[in-house]
Amino acid sequence: CDCMPISGSYKTKVPRVINDEEILDEAEKSAINSSRTAARLKAVQAIYQIAMTGEPSDVVVEEFIQYRLPIIDKSSTLGFPDIDLFRDLALGTAREMEELDALITNVLVDRWSSDRLESTLHAILRVGSYELQHHSLTPSAVVISEYLEITHAFYDGKAVGLVNGVLDAVSPKNS
């Protein structure tokens, strides 16, 4: 029996009815979250390209917006990236690359230079650090979790642990 005691008697639980607006709200929240995740991933890719090619950040960002963001990978559940977030993360990270590298280096073991990091890992740390420093409305735990998911797409446990440790250390709550 799906019953619960109430003051010595038993009363059957009544299932809660969910209206269409609540379902839509949850679907919209999920779409917004995946759109933001997609923006973060694309920003990491753009920073990787900027670092590898030396192309100006504004050129790379516009190229992404015009040619890469409109193409949705059919196997991806992320959907279309939030363009404003993508632009802010990519351009902001590119603009503050030296400061972010110093921030990252300061938390690495024995002040190991961030230049020694593998390129994709370095891009993840740069964009994640930028977002933690400049997007205070998004909880640090959420931001770190997002970049851990991105890291999982490219690496195994050790790299994921490194990203977790570095981003946690550079988070403003630890400053």
Read off the DSSP letter of residue 13. Answer: P
User: Could you report the per-residue pLDDT of 17-33, keeping only the tens digit for each?
Assistant: 444 444 445 444 455 57
What residue ranges in 3-121 does DSSP mark as E strands? 3-6, 9-12
* d(C-alpha 129, C-alpha 28), whole Å: 27
Entry pTM: 0.79
* d(C-alpha 111, C-alpha 63), whole Å: 35
For residue 48, how far is the Cα from the chain centroid?
15
**Count of other CB atoms within 10 angstroms of residue 111:** 9
Q: Which of the listed ranges 19-28, 107-116, 132-141 does the model predict with the highest average pLDDT?
A: 132-141
Which of the four pLDDT bands, split at 50, 70 and 90, describes residue 78? low
**Count of other CB atoms within 10 angstroms of residue 101:** 18
In the prediction, which pLDDT does 64 show? 93
User: Could you report the per-residue pLDDT of 3-16, keeping only the tens digit for each?
Assistant: 444 444 444 444 44
* d(C-alpha 84, C-alpha 12), whole Å: 49
Amino acid at 63: E
In the prediction, which pLDDT does 109 show? 80
User: Could you report the per-residue pLDDT of 141-154, keeping only the tens digit for each?
Assistant: 999 999 999 999 99
